[in-house]
Each structure stands twice: as structure tokens, then as C-alpha cells.
């Protein structure tokens, strides 16, 4: 938050031609904060503000995740800055304010902080998605996100009110003790938690609250879409884990059938609707819905292995989606509809851009040796290990595997466009700026490293989950 305010002050004294470089300063500041976070040791969880805010291993894992994601998005935003009508420093500042909301969400131990952090994230994204105010499609995306986000917030705040009415507290720790004496199948508390789940399902783009994602992904500026895809989704999942496993586990442990149905429908909807898409950003929007379903497999498993698989898969998803949107920023400059046909001959125009987008698609499809393969493997494994407690576990696994097979078609359709569609003879080579080259190198390294050497992140995720969620 302080970094965003400092950036707005720096903007006052920065010459107009140098304002876009403020993004480098913001990314460097986040990098320093990230490095400093590794000096933090947590023998036990630390609480503040009357127990509303908690710093534990799970919070620390996600704070580092958000810092990495925001740094990469800010670097991408510098390349995109000349396509804004003005106020580039405001775009950077809003991204930092959204990051602050994500950092609060990672440490939320009370429904009040959960609501405040989600609203801080959501309100800033209302502006970020419509930041290209000269484009009707960007304004349309912002309005759709605003309207549907307001509906989701209404579900959330009403659910929180019912939780308080049923339990008399909003603190997760106190609620866990109180909910153990409440009927898990009825009453205000159960209804309130269902409404809270509905509000969080909007954030992760799960069925039936997914309809906003394709339109918003298509219309928003590419850096905003990338941050929405990785940061907002991860914030939704860390809050989902805390609500289900910390706030009221005695109630939500009985939701296995509900979670399994939502996961299965989300996987099928995302993958089937992605098949006919020709707009790359819209395709990635449906892909994001499908990946929300895969991530819900780990939540449905109700185990430390399942939660750790969620953290690992999100880590690989971060590098994959940032790489895809970084290529869109550079390769599709001047292409208003991001049609797949615009990728024709990309491997000749820029081998780096072609290879980066191809590797991102391969990782999203879940093909070894990239991060996406091992992430999906761990999520499916967690369902197999917890099959005894999940109604229709093997049907859910079948749906997930069918979804993976379907996804191969449209992901490899993007690769086909890169390498095999004939390009126009007058198309020129694409010059990739040095910061974007390093960003793409970092994303490729992240996808490969997490896929080939997954043990370090898997162990770190397992340690975070077991320490925070008491498994």
C-alpha cells in the first residue's frame, strides 16, 4: 500500500517520457521485499489486530507468490504502457493496491478482514480491467466485472452476516470451536457459509459463477488480465482453504459431494466452451475456468496432500499464464481481436515468443516435463488417496481426465497456429525488448524447473499446509 502511494507521489516529479519506467522501480521494490521475506522465520504463527490477521507458513507462501506475480506483471505493464491513453503511474499504483489486498487475504483469520481484502482486490480490478478507456471492449469488460462483482459481494456480505447470526463471532479460530456444536446440515451458520462459498467461487471463476471470466479476459488490458488470472484466483483459493479448513471444518467437511459436483461442472464447462474459441485471450479465459475446476480437486480431497497440490499447481500456473500474456503483449501489438490467425508464422518472426507461448500451452495442457503436468498429477493423486471420503470420486477422476484430453485439442490448436499456419509474406520480424526477454526467460525457467525438480516446492507447500491447517 505504501509503495503505491509513494509511486503516485513520484509521478508528480517524473517527466512524462520517463513515467513508464516507474514500473521498473515498483518491480524492483517488490523484489527487495521478496528477498527480505526469506529472512523471516516462523517457529509458530503470529497473530495481530485481535486475531484478525495471522502470519503463518501458509500466509508466507502466498505472500511470496503474490510478490513474484506482481513483479512480473509490472514488468509486463511497462511494455504495454504506451497503449494507455494516460495515467500509466496510476495503473502501476492500482496494481500495487490490488497486491496489498492479496497480501491481506493471505493472512485473513476473520471474516471482516476477508471481506475488506476481497473488496480491495475487486475494486482495483474494476478500474484495471477498464483502464483502456478509449476501447469500447475494455469499458465493457469493466462494467460486466463491476455488475457481477457487486452481485458476488452481496452474496459474500450476506453470508458473513448469517455466519455471525449463527455463531456469534467472525474470527476463524473462535468460529471453529463454536461450529463444532452446531448442526452441519442446517441453520444460519450453514447457509451463511454456503453464501460465502458462492462469493469465493466468483473470485476463482467456478461454475455457476464463471460467466464473467471470458468477456473480462478478452476486454481487459493484457497485464491486468494476467494479474487477474493468477493473483485474484490465488487469493480466492487461499481464502477458500482458510474458510473450509480453519473457520468451520466441522461443517464444511460434509461438503465433499457439493465440491465434487462444482469441480466436475467447472472442468467440463471450461474445456468444452474453449473448443470453438478463436480469440486467444478468450480461450485463456475458458482455460482459467477449467483450471479452477482442477484446483478444486485438491480442495475436495480434504487432505494435506490435496491442499499442497493446490499450492504447487498455482505456482506453476503463475509462470505459465504470465508467459502467455507477455507474448500477447508483444506479439499481438496492434491486433485488436487477438485472433489465433495473428499468430501465424510467429516462430519465424520471433523464435523466443513462439517457443514461450508454445511451452505455456504445453504446460497448461499438462504435458511433461513442464509444471502443469506434475500439478495435475498431484491434484488427481490427492483425489485417488481420498477416494473413500469423496462421493463419486472415480467419476470425478474420469471427468478430470476427459477434460485434460479435450484440452489437448485447443491448446495444440494454438501451437498449430504458431508453427504451421502460413504467414503473410509481408510480415516483419518482432523485436522483443530486453526486459521482456528476461521476463520470458524467467517464466520458461519456472515452468521447466517446477516440472523437472518439483520436490522443493512440493515440500515447501506441504510444510505450509501442515503448519497452518493443522494436518
pLDDT in tens, 75-102: 999 888 777 767 788 889 999 999 999 9
Q: Assign 339 to helix, strand or coil.
A: strand
Neighbours of 408 (CB within 10 A): 15
pLDDT digits (tens, 9 = 90+) for 212-250: 999 999 989 999 999 999 999 999 999 999 999 988 888
Per DSSP, 431 falls in state P
Neighbours of 110 (CB within 10 A): 23
What's this model's pTM, rounded to 2 decimal places? 0.95
Per DSSP, 56 falls in state -
Report CA 304 to chain centroid distance, whole Å: 21
Percent pLDDT > 70 in the chain is 97
Structural contact between residues 96 and 70, judged by C-beta atoms closer than 8 angstroms: yes
**Can you give the length of the chain in residues?**
471
What integer is the mean pLDDT of 50-61? 92
- Sort 9 into a burial class: Cβ within 10 Å, 0-12 / 13-18 / 19+: exposed
Closest CA to 200 of 227, 100, 192, 175: 192
pLDDT greater than 80 at residue 55: yes
Closest CA to 223 of 149, 129, 157, 288: 129
Predicted local confidence at residue 235, as pLDDT: 94
Residue 292 phi, psi dihedral angles, 5° rounding: -60, -40
Distance (Å, whole) CA 410 – CA 71: 29
- Find all residues with CB under 8 Å of 15, minimum gap 6, and list them: none
Structural contact between residues 224 and 357, judged by C-beta atoms closer than 8 angstroms: no
**C-alpha angle 283-450-282 in degrees, rounded to nearest 5:** 5
Q: What is the DSSP string of 84-141?
A: SSS-HHHHHHHHHHHHHHHHHHHTB-BHHHHHHHHHHHHHHHHHHHT--TT-HHHHHH
Distance (Å, whole) CA 376 – CA 408: 14
Give the residues across from 279 on adjacent strands: 339
Closest CA to 56 of 310, 238, 300, 253: 238
Query: Which of the pair, 270 or 90, is modelled with greater confidence?
Result: 270
Q: Assign 262 to helix, strand or coil.
A: helix
Structural contact between residues 436 and 23, judged by C-beta atoms closer than 8 angstroms: no
Distance (Å, whole) CA 180 – CA 155: 24
Predicted local confidence at residue 95, as pLDDT: 93
pLDDT digits (tens, 9 = 90+) for 429-455: 888 888 899 999 999 999 999 999 999
pLDDT digits (tens, 9 = 90+) for 292-318: 999 999 999 989 999 999 999 999 999
- If phi > 0 it is left, if psi is from -120 to 50 it is alpha, else beta; for residue 87 that is left
- Find all residues with CB under 8 Å of 107, minimum gap 6, and list them: 53, 54, 55, 59, 63, 113
Percent pLDDT > 90 in the chain is 62
Closest CA to 26 of 85, 80, 75, 81: 75
What integer is the mean pLDDT of 36-65? 89
pLDDT digits (tens, 9 = 90+) for 330-376: 888 877 777 888 888 888 889 999 999 999 999 999 998 899 999 99
Closest CA to 106 of 65, 144, 165: 65
Q: How many CA atoms lie within 13 A of 301 on its CB side?
A: 24
pLDDT digits (tens, 9 = 90+) for 128-160: 998 887 788 888 888 899 999 999 999 999 999
pLDDT greater than 90 at residue 72: yes
pLDDT greater than 80 at residue 204: yes
Q: How many CA atoms lie within 13 A of 342 on its CB side?
A: 19
- Find all residues with CB under 8 Å of 205, minimum gap 6, and list them: 212, 213, 233, 266, 288, 289, 292
Tell me how far CA of residue 253 lies from CA of 259, 303, 308, 468, in angstroms.
10, 11, 18, 17
Closest CA to 289 of 208, 227, 218, 362: 208
Predicted local confidence at residue 17, as pLDDT: 77
Distance (Å, whole) CA 419 – CA 343: 9
Amino acid at each position: 500500500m505504501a509503495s503505491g502511494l509513494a509511486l503516485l507521489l513520484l509521478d508528480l516529479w517524473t517527466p512524462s517520457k520517463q513515467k513508464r519506467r516507474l514500473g521498473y522501480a515498483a518491480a524492483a521494490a517488490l523484489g527487495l521485499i521478496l528477498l527480505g521475506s526469506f529472512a523471516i522465520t516462523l517457529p509458530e504463527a503470529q497473530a495481530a489486530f485481535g486475531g484478525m490477521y495471522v502470519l503463518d507458513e501458509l500466509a508466507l507462501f502466498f505472500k511470496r507468490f503474490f510478490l513474484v506475480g506482481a513483479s512480473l506483471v509490472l514488468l509486463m505493464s511497462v511494455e504495454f504502457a504506451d497503449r494507455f491513453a494516460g495515467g500509466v503511474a496510476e495503473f502501476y499504483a492500482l496494481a500495487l493496491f490490488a497486491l496489498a489486498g492479496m497480501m491481506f487475504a493471505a493472512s485473513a483469520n476473520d471474516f471482516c478482514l476477508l471481506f475488506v481484502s476481497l473488496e480491495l482486490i475487486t475494486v482495483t480490478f474494476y478500474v484495471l480491467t477498464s483502464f483502456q478507456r478509449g476501447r469500447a471492449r475494455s469499458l465493457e469488460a469493466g462494467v460486466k466485472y463491476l455488475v457481477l462483482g457487486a452481485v458476488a459481494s452481496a452474496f459474500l456480505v450476506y453470508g458473513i452476516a448469517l455466519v455471525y447470526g449463527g455463531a456469534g463471532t467472525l474470527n476463524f479460530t473462535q468460529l471453529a470451536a463454536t461450529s463444532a456444536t452446531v448442526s452441519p446440515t442446517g441453520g444460519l451458520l450453514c447457509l451463511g457459509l454456503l453464501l460465502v462459498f458462492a462469493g469465493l467461487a466468483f473470485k476463482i471463476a467456478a461454475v455457476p459463477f464463471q460467466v464473467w471470466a471470458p468477456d473480462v479476459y478478452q476486454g481487459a488490458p493484457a497485464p491486468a488480465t494476467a494479474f487477474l488470472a493468477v493473483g485474484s484466483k490465488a487469493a480466492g483459493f487461499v481464502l477458500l482453504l482458510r474458510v473450509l479448513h480453519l473457520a468451520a471444518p466441522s461443517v464444511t467437511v460434509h461438503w465433499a459431494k457439493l465440491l465434487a459436483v462444482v469441480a466436475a461442472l467447472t472442468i467440463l464447462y471450461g474445456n468444452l466452451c474453449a473448443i470453438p474459441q478463436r480469440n486467444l485471450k478468450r480461450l485463456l479465459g475458458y482455460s482459467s475456468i477449467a483450471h479452477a475446476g482442477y484446483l478444486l480437486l485438491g480442495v475436495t480431497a480434504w487432505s494435506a496432500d490435496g491442499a499442497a497440490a493446490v499450492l504447487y499447481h498455482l505456482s506453476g500456473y503463475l509462470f505459465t499464464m504470465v508467459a502467455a500474456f507477455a507474448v500477447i503483449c508483444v506479439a499481438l501489438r496492434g491486433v485488436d481481436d487477438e485472433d489465433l490467425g495473428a499468430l501465424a508464422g510467429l516462430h519465424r518472426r520471433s523464435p523466443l515468443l513462439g517457443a514461450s507461448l508454445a511451452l505455456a500451452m504445453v504446460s497448461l495442457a499438462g504435458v511433461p516435463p513442464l509444471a502443469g503436468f506434475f500439478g495435475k498429477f498431484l491434484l488427481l493423486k490427492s483425489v485417488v488417496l481420498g477416494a473413500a471420503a469423496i462421493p463419486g470420486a472415480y467419476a470425478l477422476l474420469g471427468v478430470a481426465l476427459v477434460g485434460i484430453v479435450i484440452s489437448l485439442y485447443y491448446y495444440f490448436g494454438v501451437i498449430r497456429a504458431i508453427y504451421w499456419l502460413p504467414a503473410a509474406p509481408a510480415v516483419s520480424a518482432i523485436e522483443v525488448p530486453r526486459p521482456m526477454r528476461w521476463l520470458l526467460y524467467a517464466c520458461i525457467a519456472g515452468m521447466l524447473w517446477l516440472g523437472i525438480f518439483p520436490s522443493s516446492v512440493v515440500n515447501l507447500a506441504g510444510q505450509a499446509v501442515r503448519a497452518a491447517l493443522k494436518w
